[in-house]
Amino acid sequence: MKLPVYLDYHATAPVDPEVLQAMMPYFTEVFGNAASRNHEYGWTAEAAVEKARQQISKLIGATEKEVIFTSGATESNNLAIKGVAEMYQEKGNHIITSTIEHKAILDTCHALEKKGFEITYLPVDRYGQVSAEAVRNAITPKTILVSIMAANNEIGTINPIGSIGKVCKEKGVIFHTDAVQLVGKGHVDVEEMGIDLLSMTAHKMCGPKGVAALYVRRRNPRVRLAAMMHGGGHERGMRSGTLNVPGIVGFGKAAELAGRRMVEESGRIQRLRDFLWEKIQADLDEVYLNGHPNERLPGNLNVSFAYVEGESLMMGMKELAVSSGSACTSASLEPSYVLKNIGVGEDLAHTSIRFGLGRFTTQEEIEFAASKVISTVKKLRDLSPLYEMAKEGIDLKSVNWTGH
Ligand SMILES: *Cc1c(COP(=O)(O)O)cnc(C)c1O
């Protein structure tokens, strides 16, 4: 077992050996520019790109022509939102999103606000879900885009994307979803779910970093986007720039593997996740699950451990590569805005840990992680007067701390 145990699959995943193998020839022998139309080198590169387009489109129920390659889901999200905003600004200036989207969505929306667009940030319920009804009620004649994530990267909650897509179809509003975390892990079908634009990225599904895609619907309706990157007219004019052929080949392979293994793999990962959660609950009290109990990513477990100090918890478990519910801003430790928006108090948010399991996570690693977390929390609680008082039945809110 390699230490630290990697449990941060929402941040990134290692490249699958089969993916790497598929990519290798495209760095050296098959190095052509996919846009070179005059010779064999270009044709071979183009054929490899088209094969990847097919592998990727198949995973989400799209057609090849609807897949636009980008440098990352951050770019895909920017292109989707700014591309629609600019193209449809005569029709309206209103965009609907949610409060717990990835920063690539929220910061893009904030930038548009400065340019005169109106953004509605829909609140989420205590599990982190946006309801289709809330989307329906927020749509106005000025609404040009709804952007709601498929699954949240911190708490793993999956949204009712199909129902939201249906509302958008009824109202004739373009529907974008940041599906980075769900694609390859759970069922996604752009036709069935009424999705018009979808962001996905290779490195969250055991593909390489720096390559991603935006699905852009071509019929019923045909979605038009203003380009952000000009020059050369690649990718149907929506995203110019020489294609990252080895990356795209790897992305295609990763999509194929994810599709082929999804049912078996998600089942296995979910069983490991459930085992971890059961073990934690069996040995510790005052632990709280963040996110939805069932409608969540198979590899996600987000837990608050009351009465421990978040920093000390992280420091005490250096053998685990996990993520905490606090974000270091310049000077202070801010609680995660996602946890805040589902109603987790600041104290509990600081004690939250996100475990992200994935393809290469083993039973041995999960057993190690469980005992590490449990022993660390127990140790910290033994040192905590607050925990002791709570155990003695003292209501901490009633304590007069200053003694006056
Ligand atoms: C990782 C992530 C992104 C950003 O993807 P990059 O390819 O790293 O730019 C966007 N949205 C979600 C939900 C993510 O988890």
CA of 296 to the centre of ligand 1 (A): 17
CA of 39 to the centre of ligand 1 (A): 36
pLDDT of amino acid 309: 82
CA of 367 to the centre of ligand 1 (A): 29
Residue 273's Cα: distance from chain center in Å?
A: 18
Taking Cα atoms as reference points, which of 194, 200, 255 lies closest to residue 16?
A: 255
d(CA 212, CA 73): 6
Contacts of the segment 103-111: beta carbons below 8 A, 24+ positions apart: 104/73, 104/74, 104/77, 104/78, 104/178, 105/77, 105/81, 105/147, 105/149, 105/178, 108/77, 108/78, 108/81, 108/82, 109/81, 109/147, 111/82
Tens-binned pLDDT, residue by residue, of the chain (404 aa): 999 999 999 999 999 999 999 999 999 999 999 999 999 999 999 999 999 999 999 999 999 999 999 999 999 999 999 999 999 999 999 999 999 999 999 999 999 999 999 999 999 999 999 999 999 999 999 999 999 999 999 999 999 999 999 999 999 999 999 999 999 999 999 999 999 999 999 999 999 999 999 999 999 999 999 999 999 999 999 999 999 999 999 999 999 999 999 999 999 999 999 999 999 999 999 999 999 999 999 999 999 999 998 788 999 999 999 998 776 655 667 889 999 999 999 989 999 999 999 999 999 999 999 999 999 999 999 998 889 888 888 877 777 666 55
- What is the three-class DSSP state of 215? strand
Pocket test for ligand 1, best of 78, 106, 180, 214 (most atoms within 8 A of CB): 180
Q: 5-9+262-398 maps to which CATH number? A: 3.90.1150.10
The CB of 153 under 6 Å from ligand 1? The reply is yes
d(CA 221, CA 312): 52
Rg (alpha carbons) of the chain, rounded to whole number: 23
**Angle 328-331-336 from CA coordinates, rounded to 5°:** 30
The per-type count for the chain, helices as H runs and strands as E runs, is 12, 15
Instruction: Give every strand in the sheet of 352-356, ordered side by side.
Output: 287-289, 300-305, 352-356, 323-324
Provide the CATH topology of domain 17-258: Aspartate Aminotransferase; domain 2 (3.40.640)
Taking Cα atoms as reference points, which of 59, 9, 51, 23 lies closest to residue 206?
A: 9
The CB of 148 under 6 Å from ligand 1? The reply is no
The CB of 74 under 6 Å from ligand 1? The reply is yes
Asked about 168 being catalytic, the answer comes back as no
Greatest alpha-carbon pair distance for the chain in Å reads 86
Pocket test for ligand 1, best of 74, 155, 354 (most atoms within 8 A of CB): 74
The CB of 181 under 6 Å from ligand 1? The reply is yes
pLDDT of amino acid 191: 98
Q: Which atom of ligand 1 is nearest to the CA of 72?
A: 7
Q: Tell me the CA distances in angstroms from 7 to 116, 369, 399, one per residue in order.
A: 41, 9, 38
Q: Which sign does the torsion angle of CA 316, 319, 322, 326 carry?
A: positive
Single-letter amino acid, residue 354: R
Do 5-9+262-398 and 17-258 agree at the fold level? no
The CB of 104 under 6 Å from ligand 1? The reply is yes
CA of 211 to the centre of ligand 1 (A): 11
Taking the model in full, what pTM does it have? 0.96
d(CA 204, CA 330): 27
The CB of 212 under 6 Å from ligand 1? The reply is yes
Single-letter amino acid, residue 82: K
Contacts of 295 (CB under 8 A, 6+ apart): 127, 129, 157, 158
d(CA 265, CA 345): 34
Q: So where are the chain's domains?
A: 5-9+262-398, 17-258
The CB of 205 under 6 Å from ligand 1? The reply is no
Q: Tell me the CA distances in angstroms from 91 to 85, 88, 115, 116, 174, one per residue in order.
A: 10, 5, 16, 14, 12
pLDDT of amino acid 20: 98
Pocket test for ligand 1, best of 152, 204, 244 (most atoms within 8 A of CB): 204
d(CA 269, CA 356): 10
CA of 7 to the centre of ligand 1 (A): 17
**Angle 133-139-144 from CA coordinates, rounded to 5°:** 135
Q: Which atom of ligand 1 is nearest to the CA of 76?
A: 9
